[in-house]
Chain A
Amino acid sequence: MTTLTDQDTQGGPAVTPRNPTPAAAGADTARGPVLRVRGVGKSFGGAAALTDVDLDLYPGEVHALMGMNGAGKSTLVQILSGVHQADAGTVEVDGQAQPALTVRRARKLGIAFVPQRRELATDLSVAENVLLGDLPTRHGAVRWRQLKSEARRALSGLGIDIDVERTAGSLTVAEQTMVEVAREVRRGGRILVLDEPTACLSAEAAHQIRRLVRTLRDEGVAVVYISHYIDEVTAVADRITVLRDGAVVRSAPAAELGPAALVRAMVGRDIVSRRSERPAPRDEIGLAVRDLSDGRAVRGFDVQVRKGEIVAVLGPAGDAQSRLFDLLSGRRRPDTGELLVDGAPVPFGRVDASLAGGLRCVTGDRRALGLVPGMSLDENLLLAGDRLARRRLHRRGELTRRARPLRRRYGVVSLAGNPPVSALSGGNQQKVLLAKWLGTGPVACFLEDPTNGVDIAAMADIHTLVDELAGRGVAVLLASSSAEEVMRLADRVIVVSAGRTVAEHDVTAITRDELVATALGGQPQ
């Protein structure tokens, strides 16, 4: 916390400029902010989640909200959208103080929230979703033709090209986001809060979302953009506000904030993200996959990972990675292929065989496949370990004692006691997931997007943990959609596209830009 520069401390809440001028050319400053937050504070059960937060939103401006998990972004957004009421401070919309902002009232005022988990009615058509709650009817019967044309108009007005007759369930995540945005805008949303709209998206899909955000800005909507991705925020935002420990530490035009300054503001210290020295891999093969094919998702995948080596599989999110998880973990049987762990063949399609062979697969989807939400932190930590050790009895006190070293080693921070794992921040949940598997003496590991949706400090911690894992002589196969992560961790990288291996490189013999070019181009250079 001591590495803050003068420049940083100037941005502290006490001296935040009260009437900041938006940087965007298109921002409509003449009419003043559409939303003004002053001195807002909120505490939950004694813990202060927000203190003295100021925020100004102007129409036609993209205002990025950054901060680590638990910095107070969600609380602030929940206050704006009326889910929580502030303990202190004021929220003004169009210059009118809004002392009792409820969800309904916020919506009426045009404040709309697009959550990270999209909320569409998956069995209904896109058109119905766009007009949901406001379907055109005549004598109680839905007027389908009018419904479709209005939906089409709402989408095309924002430059979105999606067939309105498709069912929402068939949309990609990016398309779902677009439909949800169109719905909110049509309902009169003029302050739009987007919560990590590009998390888990491929580069192309993320690009589409950013284009939509720019269209919204040009239409005069005030956009609050929450994201962990620094590159993206500096590219899309006009103004950036950084929260740390519930307070605003920096609020400035995006042009004034470089990546390094942002990281420092968010974390309060410099984050070292350099490759670390690891002992050279041994000459034994820890994990070998031969000619693995499964439908169109994985085609002829081959890899050999030595003990102590990290081999990355780089591809757009949602390409081969999650299917590799299903196949290697034994959840799914491939069409063809062979798997050897520590030289011994392991049959596909059986979770127990995969585990018994010493292979540990860590999912990139911790909510669906990683943790049991209602169970306590400690029980989740030991869920797999206790079953592998064939334990029969379960005692809470003893469980806590055994979980303690795991918590410490994997840096799981919990406020008090042993809460349900769902109460932890994303970064902490991810560490629990890693500890659950890496603490069970693996021979080989498959890690799918291990830093998905975690803040930069947790990301750095997790990278260190993966380094240590390889340092212990474990063969690590890492599936990732981030070139930075691959450059930081891997010894070798296999670039995949549409399920096929398109290139293989020694990481030390390639630059980041070359790697990105290979991944984007989909062709070996």
Chain B
Amino acid sequence: MSVTTLPDAPGTGTPPGRGRRPSRLDALRRAPHAGLTAVLVVVVVATMLRTDAFATDTNLINILRQVSVTAVIAAGLTLLMTAGGMDFSMGSNVSVTTALGAQLLSHGHSTVVTVVVTIALATMIGLVNGLVVTFTHVAPFVVTLATATLLDGVALLVLDSVSVSIGTRMFPLGNGDVLGVPYLLILAVLVLAATALVMRFTVFGRDAYAIGGNEHVARLSGIDVTARKLTLYALTGALSGLAGLMLLSRLGSSSPGTGGLTLQLTAVAAVVIGGTSLAGGHGTVTGTVLGVVLLGVVANALNLLQVSSNYQPVSVGGVLLVAAIANEFHKSRSARN
């Protein structure tokens, strides 16, 4: 019986994957975040071709300053989502923090007191989320969606529905820089770097992967899952507080609608674009950084190209969709090899 080569089996006998020689392009394609990086490069190049205003020092620094707040939230969310959790109330936590911070400062409390009180409150909010999630087993998405709505209302109550200015208090933090690098950016980079180090080099970080990958196995392996989850939710709360203060210092005031759902959705989008699994078990800070920067660049490009602001959500949604599809392609491609 002769062996017949099927017409659709190209290069029978060439060993590697589906009959092709592994090229450098293949290696590049399989590199982590290849799809996302490609999308980012395309957006940057396209923008640079259309306008000279993009690739200037001031504009690039401006972009990074603008994404700093999102980045801090996204960092916490990356760790939490990797552990299979979800906090949909971080944006609203920011609203409460900025509102409370603005009221405290405008009533003459010192910056130190303000920082301590607001971050403590934000941490408490996170912890409460964590307690409800761990002890009632209600889905984290539902719990934090409820608290998000609740906190939005609390923020309005704290502000009494008017804008509260803090004058020039905290102005240096929001607008100052050292050697041209904004303080906000430095803070964001520190938070991201710390998160990345924790996730990669500490058992606490690996516990997050284990819990997100299979919570039963994590518990049976001697990980105190409840304590870990509480810590993670408290941490996302604390980071929301920090992000709130950063936002307050940049804006110089807190108004109804500061933070809230828009900020939350941008952060979630950035994390998901970065390849962190909604189901838990997978996640990288590098991906999140790329996601945050991509969204910041897109928003900035639309501004520079004087596209109507109504197109902003359209483009963010589009980018999210494209990046998510690219991630999925990349995943199934590497899974087959």
Interface residues of A (CB under 8 A from B): 18, 38-39, 41, 43-46, 52, 54, 85-90, 99-100, 329, 331, 351-352, 355, 361, 363, 368-375, 379, 383-384, 386-388, 391-395, 436
Contact = CB atoms under 8 A, between A and B. Distances in A.
Contact of A388 (B4, B219, B222): B222
B3 A384 contact: no
B79 to A, nearest CB: 14
The 10 closest A-B pairs by CB, nearest first: A46-B15, A372-B213, A387-B222, A39-B3, A384-B221, A374-B281, A383-B221, A372-B214, A374-B213, A99-B6
Contacts of A18: 1
A88 B200 CA distance: 44
B9 interface: yes
Contact of B221 (A43, A100, A387, A393): A387
B8 interface: yes
Nearest to B221: A384
B205 interface: yes
A372 B223 CA distance: 13
A54 B3 CA distance: 11
Nearest to A331: B220
Q: Would you call the interface of chain A mostly helix, strand, loop, or mixed?
A: mixed
B281 A372 contact: yes
B214 A373 contact: yes
Contacts of A373: 213-214, 281
Contact of A392 (B2, B203, B217, B218): B203
A379 B205 CA distance: 13
B102 to A, nearest CB: 39
B206 A379 contact: yes
B328 interface: no
A361 to B, nearest CB: 7
Interface residues of B, number: 39
Nearest to B217: A372
Contacts of A85: 6, 8-9
B203 A394 contact: yes
B199 to A, nearest CB: 10
Given A46-B15, A369-B220, 15 more contacts: A38-B1, A54-B1, A87-B19, A88-B3, A99-B7, A329-B220, A370-B217, A372-B213, A383-B217, A383-B218, A384-B221, A387-B207, A387-B222, A394-B203, A436-B221
Contacts of A363: 220
Nearest to B224: A352
A39 B1 contact: yes
Given A363-B220, A371-B217, A393 B203 contact: yes
B218 A372 contact: yes
Given A369-B220, A370-B217, A393-B203, A375 B210 contact: yes
Given A85-B6, A379-B206, A392-B203, A369 B16 contact: no
B234 to A, nearest CB: 19
Nearest to B7: A99
Contacts of B16: 45-46
Among B7, B205, B213, the one with the most A-chain Cβ atoms within 10 Å of its Cβ is B213
Contacts of A392: 202-204
A370 B205 CA distance: 20
Interface of B: 1-9, 12-13, 15-17, 19, 200-207, 209-210, 213-214, 216-224, 281-282, 337
Contact of A351 (B3, B207, B219): B219
Contacts of A371: 214, 217
B213 A386 contact: no
Contact of B6 (A90, A372, A374): A90
A87 B204 CA distance: 46
Nearest to A16: B1
Contact of A87 (B1, B9, B207): B9
Given A43-B15, A383-B210, A387-B223, A86 B6 contact: yes
Contacts of A355: 222
Contacts of B205: 394
Given A363-B220, A387-B221, A394 B200 contact: yes
Contacts of A386: 203
Contacts of B201: 393-395
Among B2, B16, B209, B221, the one with the most A-chain Cβ atoms within 10 Å of its Cβ is B221
Contact of B220 (A100, A361, A375): A361
Given A372-B217, A374-B281, A384-B222, A393 B8 contact: no
Contacts of B5: 88
A89 B216 contact: no
A445 B257 CA distance: 58
Given A361-B220, A369-B217, A39 B4 contact: yes
Contacts of A100: 6, 8
A387 B203 contact: yes
A88 B214 contact: no
Given A85-B6, A88-B6, A372-B214, A45 B219 contact: no
Contacts of A90: 4, 6
A45 B337 CA distance: 6
Given A329-B220, A361-B220, A387-B222, A89 B202 contact: no
A370 B8 CA distance: 41
A127 B110 CA distance: 70
A60 B223 CA distance: 53
Contacts of A89: 3-4, 6
Contact of A45 (B7, B17, B214, B281): B17
A88 B2 CA distance: 11
Nearest to B209: A375
Among A45, A329, A383, A392, the one with the most B-chain Cβ atoms within 10 Å of its Cβ is A383
A48 to B, nearest CB: 9
